[in-house]
Amino acid sequence: MADVLVVDDLDVTFQLHNSEVKAVSDLDFALAEGETLAVVGESGSGKSQAFLSIMGLLAKNGKGSGRAMLGDTNLIGLSPGELDRYRGKDIAMIFQDPMTSLNPALRIRTQLGEVLVRHQGYDRERANRAVIEMLERVGIPEPVKRASAYPHELSGGMRQRVMIAMALLCRPKVLIADEPTTALDVTVQAQMLDLFKTLTNDFGTALVLITHDLGVVAGVADRMMVMYGGRCIEKGPTDTLFYDPRHPYTLGLLHSTPNVDKRAARLDPIQGLPPSLEHLPRGCAFHPRCAFRFDRCFEERPPLLPVEDVREKACWYQGELNYEEVA
Amino acid sequence: MLGYALRRVLTAIPIVLLTITVCFFILRLAPGGPFDGERALPPDQLRNIRAYYHLDEPLVMQFFRYVAGVAQGNFGPSMVMKDFTVARLIGIGLPFTLMLGFTAFIVGTVAGLVAGAIAAVNQNRWPDYLLVFVVLIPIIIPNFLMANVVQLVFGVYLHWLPVGGYTPGAWLNLVLPVLILAMPHGARVARLTRGSMIEVLGTNYIRTARSKGLGARLILARHAIKPALIPVVSYLGPGLSYLLTGSLVVEQVFALPGIGKYFITAALNRDYGVVLGTTILYVFIILALNLIVDVVYAWLDPKVRFR
């Protein structure tokens, strides 16, 4: 399958008062047509900032550099005006908080219809029909009535459905979903993930699922990318990472997630705190929290290297990862 | 919506009654009366005049007599300007005051909105710094002082504009008074607009709008302005009433034929009817303005409509 989005050497830096913070360093990945990639990491791991920079939505003091090729176009470094030709059309984004991500002063149909008017040249009426059709498709009851509603008249789950409908109106090649289920009830989360799966399948849209919730990843993602301290530290097919993690951090993440099969008496959090991006540790950024560290980890940062055919990791430790040893 | 407006009108009645009561008694507490001139009147005459205006009755009686009159639309006679009723005096002065106030309101509001929006879009760049500094000036300096300054500069030294006075059609005479009235109002509107616009531009829903590739202009015009106007609109009602009351002083400084002239002389002369009548009128205007603001508010913020 052809790659729809190829990211190469992506850096994101933020200018602070008199220092510079690198939120994302040397990020590489390719996203194939229709594929689902999960990007996993703690808060501050740079997972959101990487994709905000691709969308041109970084805060004013943030700057992306490198390449994010959407077809033949490098999205990094485009002016907002040039980006507007692709944003919402070929590449769309859904945000974490559906309660605040819709404009409270505008009707649902206005907020959705304008995407089609802008990118597809529809007139209002045609856009309205398409909007109602899409609302029905994302499972909103009484779509005609809801189209005229304001956001505050809808529940959180409904609003996230509206956001999904909005992002998919132009059948984009890439959909980036930044923690799309975090703000929702657990019962609604599962429905929402089903919806993502069905719709991206139907439209052939590649999905990037940014999350810290491994439970979300398991059922949905084809591949998985684990980020720590602004870098990708392990990458590969979801199943292999789940059943056979090779990076101590991935292992730690998996063990700190509730699992029905294991019935552990307690969950094991990863000891310590995620690093501050301003003062990343020397060597491997994870070494202060790592049970498998040895002298090399303190001095040299491990590069991201292929482990087997399909996976990569950034870790010096090459031996067996035995969890019992850690716990 | 209509029921809401009607309820609001009904709640205005006790407010008007309360204002009348408070103003009536406060005015009577003040020493002196309408007939205390430089030279005291002979006791017989004074007694006759006081009887004519029912000033010899107990105060409470006078109060009820006055309220009954107002309820029938009769604001009584002016006690100082013998040939005029209060209604007539107001009729002469009010149109000019309203014209002056509304002109200043429109000028100030438009200028403030535009300046505030420009500053917000250029946050922390020189247009923003300039505005934040400049708007402080008319807010800090009282308008009667500022009025004298512009009279001196533009009238006396530069001879660009007339210093004061007004005859119908002489619109050049209105430039300075409108400016003086509009500046503090515009400055407050600009500050409010800037603040709320900056806040709105940082919200998640503006980020969503950007992620849709809508373009800066459409985002500003459709997504940012309406929510950003909400705090500004809630200021406009009180803002306009400040303008109308503030114009009393400005009219005096620029020797303009508005209601302010009558109001101030009436207050000094204890012309009870005129002071009360003007005050009640202002209460009406302010209540009406607040009602309009609330209706506009409901249009801007859909959440208000269902309360």
- Please report, for the domain that includes residue B144, its CATH number: 1.10.3720.10
pLDDT of residue B166: 82
Question: Would residue B162 count as lying in a domain?
Answer: yes
pLDDT digits (tens, 9 = 90+) for A160-173: 999 999 999 999 99
Would you place residue A109 in the very low, low, confident or very high pLDDT band (cuts 50, 70, 90)? very high
Nearest by CB: B300 against A100, A102, A105: A105
Chain A contact set for B301 (CB, 8 A): 104-105
Q: Tell me if B218 sits within 8 A of B112, measured CB to CB.
A: no
pLDDT of residue A326: 52
Residues 198-217 of B with CB under 8 A from A: 203-205, 207-216
A106 has a chain B CB within 8 A of its CB:
yes
pLDDT digits (tens, 9 = 90+) for B182-241: 999 999 999 999 999 999 999 999 999 999 999 888 998 899 998 999 889 888 888 888
Q: Nearest chain B residue to A111 by CA: give it.
A: B209
pLDDT of residue A261: 64
Task: Summarize the confidence of residues A186-207 as an average pLDDT.
Answer: 88
Choose the mutation target among A101, A102, A119, A166 for the interface with B, i.e. most B CBs under 10 Å.
Answer: A101
* Per-residue H/E/C for chain B: CHHHHHHHHHHHHHHHHHHHHHHHHHHHHCCCCCCCCCCCCCHHHHHHHHHHCCCCCCHHHHHHHHHHHHHCCCCCECCCCCCCEHHHHHHHHHHHHHHHHHHHHHHHHHHHHHHHHHHHHCCCCHHHHHHHHHCHHHHHCCHHHHHHHHHHHHHHHCCCCCCCCCCCCCCHHHHHHHHHHHHHHHHHHHHHHHHHHHHHHCCHHHHHHHHCCCCHHHHHHHHHHHHHHHHHHHHHHHHHHHHHHHHHHHHHHCCCCCHHHHHHHHHHHCCHHHHHHHHHHHHHHHHHHHHHHHHHHHHHCHHHHHC
Query: What percent of chain B lies above the pLDDT cut of 70?
Result: 99
Question: Would residue B132 count as lying in a domain?
Answer: yes
Domain A3-90+170-326: give its CATH architecture. Answer: 3-Layer(aba) Sandwich (3.40)
State chain A's mean pLDDT as an integer. Answer: 88
Nearest by CB: B213 against A95, A106, A118: A118
Kindly report the nearest CA distance between residue A72 and chain B, in angstroms. Answer: 19
Tally of domains in chain B: 1
pLDDT of residue A6: 94
Question: Would residue B201 count as lying in a domain?
Answer: yes
Domain boundaries, position B236: 93-257
B307 has pLDDT over 70: no
Please give the residue that has the higher pLDDT: either A308 or A311.
A311
Nearest by CB: B213 against A87, A101, A152: A87
Please give the residue that has the higher pLDDT: either A252 or A325.
A252
Chain B contact set for A104 (CB, 8 A): 205, 227, 301-303
pLDDT digits (tens, 9 = 90+) for A136-151: 999 899 999 999 999 9
Domain boundaries defined on chain A: 3-90+170-326, 105-166
Q: How many CB pairs under 8 A join A and B?
A: 80
A115 has a chain B CB within 8 A of its CB:
yes
**Contacts for B195 with CB less than 8 Å, ≥ 6 apart:** B116, B120, B231
Choose the mutation target among A17, A49, A51, A84 for the interface with B, i.e. most B CBs under 10 Å.
Answer: A84
Kindly report the nearest CA distance between residue A199 and chain B, in angstroms. Answer: 19
Query: How distant, in Å, are the alpha carbons of A74, A94, B250, B269 from that of B283?
Result: 63, 50, 20, 22
B4 has pLDDT over 80: no
Would you place residue A103 in the very low, low, confident or very high pLDDT band (cuts 50, 70, 90)? very high
Query: How distant, in Å, are the alpha carbons of A26, A126, A210, B292 from that of A46?
Result: 11, 40, 10, 49
ipTM summary value: 0.89
Kindly report the nearest CA distance between residue A101 and chain B, in angstroms. Answer: 4
pLDDT of residue A263: 59
Query: How distant, in Å, are the alpha carbons of A180, A211, A300, B193, B279 from that of A185?
Result: 11, 15, 43, 37, 57
pLDDT of residue B172: 86
Question: Would residue B85 count as lying in a domain?
Answer: no
Q: Tell me if B256 sits within 8 A of B171, measured CB to CB.
A: no
Chain B contact set for A169 (CB, 8 A): none
Task: Summarize the confidence of residues A266-270 as an average pLDDT.
Answer: 72
Q: Do A92 and B212 touch (CB under 8 A)?
A: yes
Please give the residue that has the higher pLDDT: either B259 or A203.
A203
Least confident of A51-65, A152-166, A247-261, B100-114: A247-261
pLDDT of residue A259: 66
B306 has pLDDT over 60: no
A149 has a chain B CB within 8 A of its CB:
no
